[in-house]
Structure 1
Amino acid sequence: MLGTLEPQNPDKILMLMAEFRGDTRQGKIDLGVGVYKDATGHTPIMRAVRAAEAQLLQTETTKTYTNLSGEPAFRDAMAAMVLGDALDPARTATLATVGGTGALRAGLELARMGNPDLTVWVPDPTWPNHLSIINFMGLKSRTYRYFDPATRAVDEEAMLADLAQAARGDLVLLHGCCHNPTGADPSPAAWPRIAEVLARSGAVPFVDLAYQGFGNGLDEDAAGARILASHLPEVIIAVSCSKNFGIYRERAGLLLAQTEGGAARDLAQGAMATIARATYSFPPDHGARIVSTILHDAALAADWREELEAVRLGMIALREQLASELRAASGSDRFDFIARHRGMFSRIGATPEQVERLKREAAIYIVGDSRLNIAGLNTATVPILARALVEVGV
């Protein structure tokens, strides 16, 4: 049986990581993998996370299973962090998941249970794993226009025109903030218009909120999701704790579904529990308990917010420095979009050949579609990257 399996295409980013590790050159720069790094190239443990883990070590009394849908303290705190004043507990079902990717998979399963014939609309471009999961599940998908390669911004009119074609019961995948891979987000004025288009079509938004706090701030980054939740009868949101809490390996995430309330909320909660039971049974709890400990402790929450804000401002400073260095090196303002983008990523417009030259000639590793991870830079490597980009002709 196993000998008849078809060969699978390896993940290109994981292949790039392996190639980087095998490169023996001094001064090599990894801008490929989508993980936050500090100025030393290290992914740190946040102060509040260490403190919360120390509390758990002293107070935890059992390692038995948690609630099938996850601990209510975690789910409630995360729902409040995401939706703020737009949260209506009577309409909201939640599920603790195996990271943000687990939330995406569970959200797609939930939508398919509600409409087995749905089509999933995804932005062009999007995180490659979105399409990998959708295709693996055998779901139908269509792309909608999103990124304008000329302006390096969101083509909002084209996006809205395409989303108007979605059918009732379809699912529309939206990046809540810090779009991966482009770094370009819809303007604040675009989100009410997106809600209006979806209200007319009857399609359901599915928001991937993986980077809340990395863009313009915790509340600002959730503004789009909150507008959708306030204006539409149904919205599904997949949330990751990997980035903003820095607990990548703990695999803590949340699936949130805001329904029309009443029986619909209970049906969604029951469906989520069934999905969990048939997939991984009970969710992992350590990362979720770290998060809930932080969010329910005023001092820890304040310290976490302070450190997260320092991370956010540090990435913005690197963006501004890179845009400035590129302006000086190229004698052009064509790279100024980098300072306007948000989050860890920007798609800079290099060709595959130029990406290969960066790797071969300068030991600079970025993804083949020219997505680079701003968080992989520091103040010393920004000028090196700027010179290399201009030298290869970007």
Structure 2
Amino acid sequence: MFETMTAAAADKIMALAGLYRDDPRAHKMDLGVGVYKDATGETVVMQAVREAEKRLYDSQTTKSYLGMGGDEGFNKAMLKLVFADSADPSRIFCGQAAGGTGALRILAELLSKARPGATVWLSDPTWPIHEPLIKLTQLKTAAYPYFDAATGKVKFDKMVRGLDAARPGDIVLLHGCCHNPTGADLTIDQWKRIADFVTEKDLFPLIDLAYQGFGNGLDADAAAVRLLAKRVPEMAVATSCSKNFSVYRDRVGAMMLLCKDAASTKIVGSQALMSTRLMYSMPPDHAAATIRIILEDEALAANWKNELEEMRLRILNLRNGMADALRRHSNSDRFDFVASHRGMFSRLGLTETQVERLRDEFGIYMVSDSRFNVAGLREDRLEELAKAVVCVL
């Protein structure tokens, strides 16, 4: 049966994690896998999550199925968290998914049914899973210019010119905030131009919102989604709770579809649920129920928001500290962009050889394109990292 198969190519980030795990050096530094770590280097359970899990344990009386859409209370709370009052709720379908990746996979399947053969336009670069995930459907992919490695900024004019090649009915995948892997985001004025552009060109926006709350704040990070919701007739959003609730292994996210009217929403929602049914039947419950408890309780929600804000501010402080250290040791402003980026990641603009030297000589692990996890840094090791980076230039 399997004699014609060859081994699948290793996932670069997971392979990097394996190399890090097997490295015996005590001073090694893991900046590869995208998880938030506190000042001690641990990915802890948030206080609000711990309390909500206790309440769930005490109150839950059954493990019976919830259904393909998951926890309806969770869906309602997530819809409010992302869209606020930017669109009529009757026009929006929201379904629980197995993480942000699960949400993207179901949305890709749904869009393939709606527009078989359409092209999904991806930023260059984008999250490595985007392209292979989309290619599992009948959809095609193409790239639009996005990041200028020399300046660390978005090439916005080139981005728009690149998207001008898109045909009516094509899909544009946009990072709602905290662009992965670059950390370079669009400004609100640029988002307004994108809203006008996709409307004029009859393009469908698909927003990947994996890091709400990690950039400029919960509401600010959803500003692009809300702006588009007021201007475009249809759009889709895949959102993840892995980072902002720190429930990585529990796999919970949501898929959201803004439709032209309530009648269309019912039809589209039924198709999304059928895709869920055929893919993994229904999503896991534990984390969604936990998050529902948090968001429905005023005190718990306030506790969660405070802890999330502490995490966000710590990332910003790490960015500023890293940029300062690199400026001192390189005697240049080459890496100042690190401070202006947002979210968990930035790209340092190093070559693959330089990244290998960081790993081999200094025990510093980052992805081969020099994407590093800012949230994996420790305040007491910024100088050490900056010295090593300058050493391999």
What TM bracket, shorter-length normalisation?
over 0.9
1:68 — aligned with what? 68
- State the alpha-carbon separation in 2 of the partners of residues 185 and 125 from structure 1: 13
Cα contact 1:176–1:207 (8 A) shared by 2: yes
Which whole-Å deviations, capped at 9, do the CAs of 1:194-248 have from their partners, x for residues lacking one?
0111001111000000000000000000101111111000010000000000000
- State the alpha-carbon separation in 2 of the partners of residues 331 and 5 from structure 1: 52
Cα distance, 1:26 vs structure 2 = 1.4
Paired residues for 1:1-394 under 5 Å: 1-393=1-393
Number of residue pairs matched by the alignment: 393
- State the alpha-carbon separation in 2 of the partners of residues 186 and 67 from structure 1: 37
- State the alpha-carbon separation in 2 of the partners of residues 361 and 306 from structure 1: 39
- State the alpha-carbon separation in 2 of the partners of residues 99 and 14 from structure 1: 18
- State the alpha-carbon separation in 1 of the partners of residues 389 and 117 from structure 2: 45
Once superposed, which parts of structure 1, at least 4 consecutive aligned residues long, lie more than 3 Å away?
A: none
Cα distance, 1:4 vs structure 2 = 2.3
Cα contact 1:247–1:287 (8 A) shared by 2: yes
- State the alpha-carbon separation in 1 of the partners of residues 148 and 214 from structure 2: 23
The residue type equivalent to 1:227 in the other structure is L
The residue type equivalent to 2:292 in the other structure is S
- State the alpha-carbon separation in 1 of the partners of residues 257 and 41 from structure 2: 37
- Per the alignment, in what secondary structure is the counterpart of residue 128 of structure 1? coil
- State the alpha-carbon separation in 2 of the partners of residues 310 and 77 from structure 1: 22
- Per the alignment, in what secondary structure is the counterpart of residue 189 of structure 1? helix
The residue type equivalent to 2:185 in the other structure is D
Cα contact 1:359–1:365 (8 A) shared by 2: yes
Relative to structure 1, is the Cα distance of residues 6 and 139 closer, same or farther in structure 2, using a 3 angstrom cutoff?
farther
Cα contact 2:358–2:392 (8 A) shared by 1: yes
Q: CA RMSD in A?
A: 0.9
- State the alpha-carbon separation in 2 of the partners of residues 20 and 68 from structure 1: 38
The residue type equivalent to 2:264 in the other structure is A
Cα distance, 1:117 vs structure 2 = 1.6
Cα distance, 1:82 vs structure 2 = 0.4
The residue type equivalent to 2:76 in the other structure is D
- Per the alignment, in what secondary structure is the counterpart of residue 93 of structure 2? strand
- State the alpha-carbon separation in 2 of the partners of residues 316 and 209 from structure 1: 19
Cα contact 1:209–1:237 (8 A) shared by 2: yes
Cα contact 2:112–2:137 (8 A) shared by 1: no
- State the alpha-carbon separation in 2 of the partners of residues 88 and 19 from structure 1: 49
Cα contact 1:241–1:253 (8 A) shared by 2: yes
Cα distance, 1:173 vs structure 2 = 0.4
- State the alpha-carbon separation in 2 of the partners of residues 6 and 327 from structure 1: 46
- State the alpha-carbon separation in 2 of the partners of residues 283 and 129 from structure 1: 20
- Per the alignment, in what secondary structure is the counterpart of residue 219 of structure 2? helix
Which whole-Å deviations, capped at 9, do the CAs of 1:51-97 have from their partners, x for residues lacking one?
00000011111100003211211111001100112132110011110
- State the alpha-carbon separation in 1 of the partners of residues 348 and 62 from structure 2: 49
The residue type equivalent to 1:240 in the other structure is S
The residue type equivalent to 1:25 in the other structure is R
- State the alpha-carbon separation in 1 of the partners of residues 168 and 345 from structure 2: 33
- Per the alignment, in what secondary structure is the counterpart of residue 192 of structure 2? helix
Cα distance, 1:339 vs structure 2 = 0.2
Cα contact 1:79–1:87 (8 A) shared by 2: no
The residue type equivalent to 2:128 in the other structure is P
- Per the alignment, in what secondary structure is the counterpart of residue 4 of structure 1? coil
- State the alpha-carbon separation in 2 of the partners of residues 17 and 51 from structure 1: 31
- Per the alignment, in what secondary structure is the counterpart of residue 301 of structure 2? helix
Cα contact 2:112–2:138 (8 A) shared by 1: no
Cα contact 1:49–1:290 (8 A) shared by 2: yes
Relative to structure 1, is the Cα distance of residues 269 and 262 closer, same or farther in structure 2, using a 3 angstrom cutoff?
same
Cα distance, 1:6 vs structure 2 = 3.2
- Per the alignment, in what secondary structure is the counterpart of residue 346 of structure 2? strand
The residue type equivalent to 2:88 in the other structure is D
